[in-house]
Structure 1
Amino acid sequence: MTATVARDNQVAARANDVWKVYGSGEAQVMALRGVSVEFERSRFTAIMGPSGSGKSTLMHCLAGLDSVTRGQISIGDTTVTGLGDAGLTRLRRDKVGFIFQQFNLLPTLSARENILLPLAIAGRKPDPAWFDTVIDTVGLRDRLGHRPAQLSGGQQQRVACARALVARPEVIFADEPTGNLDSRAGAEVLNFLRNSVKEHDQTIVMVTHDPAAASYADRVVFLADGQVVTELTGPTPETVLDTMKRLDVLAEADV
């Protein structure tokens, strides 16, 4: 199926008939099969599906971390497909933010230094007012001088969230951002992501396997066997779980 279509000026990221094949011959794996989906600006979208459904592959292709075998990827008005190394570097620096399961903080830097690192690498100075807004949103003002080892897992992930948000990217991609957190810390991070969309018009695309995490999103896109098979708006943990249980049937009906 093709997911909901938005007007071009409302689209933060788009996949158009995207295929991704790994390997060849008997070892060939078809990770994505003609995926067409759009992600609207200022919305929180979750991508779900069983293991091997292609959800992480789709995110990596959208973010320019992996190339597509066929089809086209765009971020805003930038066509990602076909970009060289320099173009992909600019894309990741200027238009895309990342939040990963493993936090990816530098242990020798303070929380403040980790948050500002992408701007420092790009040779850009932070907007002081926006920096203050981000810090207050993640609730880490009294921890800015601490190194990662002095922070809890939830605090480390909130540092990673602030780092992704401080450069004001067009879209933030979050790959299982609560996967290493307990339920309380995970809820803190998800509330931050939810508030960054609601209060600051951020666009977030999150891969998750957790129905409770997906319920924080405005919309959930479901993949099965490398294809988009259905979606939900206004999800609850119950409706997400029910849809996950029916994915095999939905995938067969979509063939």
Structure 2
Amino acid sequence: MEKYNSPNNGFTKENKEFAAQAINLQKQYGHGDTAVTALHNINIGFYQGEFTAIMGPSGSGKSTLMHCMAGLDSVTSGQAMIGDTDLSKLGDKELTVLRRDRLGFIFQSFNLVPTLTAEENITLPGDIASRATNGEWFAEITSRLGLSERLKHRPSELSGGQQQRVACARALVSKPEIIFGDEPTGNLDSNSSREVLEILRTSVDQDGQTVVIVTHDPRAASYADRVVFLADGEIVDELRGGSMDNILATMTSLEKED
């Protein structure tokens, strides 16, 4: 496959169309002869109000890219930007505040606190920040996600799909600048997976939310506006408005080359 040239090369920090950007981003693990470069000189921007899916073969660097962009992992060189904020210039406390106040997260394992009710899990980030939750928005989100009658239940009393909807509500309720999802449908059956993807799609179309997910599932990626493909730590292709068949064909070609 020919080397991919990102259409976002040459963007600047002043370009307000991007909710997040990677600029010459490199990520290396280890040193010397044992060093492994997980990401090679990544340049890409994630547009505001858009749903992006990141795909690639196992070991391609897709989760590493998302973790670097979300401030969950440090970069070796280059920049990971949220808006105009360069994450590499922030200390641990500043990163914690940024993740809490400006980002939303949805993980494969739900990451709910088992001793808290659904309502308490949803409002937890705001409670930690001593920030009042907008009651009207909370009611709209929990109603939209079908959680109004489950708010007093603890995670053990909820199905997997309901737990992931609680995680979605937690990510959405603060209206973050960007929501990152790491295999958010990986532990769900097909019906629950569809529900979660429709929630994310609606948040983009109706609320102008920015969503970036890592997924191995072409069906999940087909909900996105844009699918970015990684292989061997480099961006090698992207599709816009691609069907599940187009996405699957691109993934199959990458796995054959891998």
Tell me the TM-score range normalised by the shorter chain.
over 0.9
> Which of the numbers 222, 235, 238 marks the counterpart of 2:229?
222
Counterpart of 2:168 in 1: which secondary structure? helix
Partner residue of 1:38? 45
Partner residue of 1:183? 190
Distance apart, 1:10 and its partner CA: 1.2
Q: How high is the sequence identity, in percent, across the aligned residues?
A: 58
Is 1:147 matched up with 2:150? no
The structure 1 segments of at least 4 consecutive aligned residues displaced by more than 4 Å after TM superposition are 248-251
Amino acid corresponding to residue 192 of structure 1 in structure 2: I
> Which of the numbers 152, 164, 168 marks the counterpart of 1:161?
168
Return 5+ residue gaps in structure 1 as ranges. Answer: none
**Closer/same/farther in 2, CA of residues 250 and 153 from structure 1, 3 Å limit:** same
Is 1:75 matched up with 2:82? yes
Q: Hey, what's the Cα distance between the residues in 1 that align with 2:134 and 2:5?
A: 39
Q: Hey, what's the Cα distance between the residues in 2 that align with 1:33 and 1:250?
A: 18
C-alpha contact (below 8 Å) 1:230/1:250 kept by paired residues: no
- Output the aligned Cα RMSD: 1.5
Amino acid corresponding to residue 102 of structure 2 in structure 1: K
**Closer/same/farther in 2, CA of residues 184 and 117 from structure 1, 3 Å limit:** same
> Which of the numbers 128, 135, 146 marks the counterpart of 1:128?
135
Partner residue of 2:7? 4
Q: Hey, what's the Cα distance between the residues in 2 that align with 1:27 and 1:176?
A: 29
C-alpha contact (below 8 Å) 1:112/1:144 kept by paired residues: yes
TM value normalised by structure 1: 0.95
Q: Hey, what's the Cα distance between the residues in 2 that align with 1:47 and 1:162?
A: 22
Return 5+ residue gaps in structure 2 as ranges. Answer: none
Partner residue of 1:88? 95
Distance apart, 1:134 and its partner CA: 1.2
C-alpha contact (below 8 Å) 2:57/2:255 kept by paired residues: no
Greater Cα offset, 62-71 or 77-86: 77-86
Distance apart, 1:65 and its partner CA: 0.7
C-alpha contact (below 8 Å) 1:46/1:219 kept by paired residues: yes
**Closer/same/farther in 2, CA of residues 231 and 250 from structure 1, 3 Å limit:** farther
C-alpha contact (below 8 Å) 1:44/1:204 kept by paired residues: yes
Q: Deviation per CA, 1:210-238, whole angstroms, max 9, x where unpaired? A: 00010010100000000001100012110
Is 1:208 matched up with 2:215? yes
Partner residue of 1:242? 249
Distance apart, 1:2 and its partner CA: 4.0
Partner residue of 2:54? 47
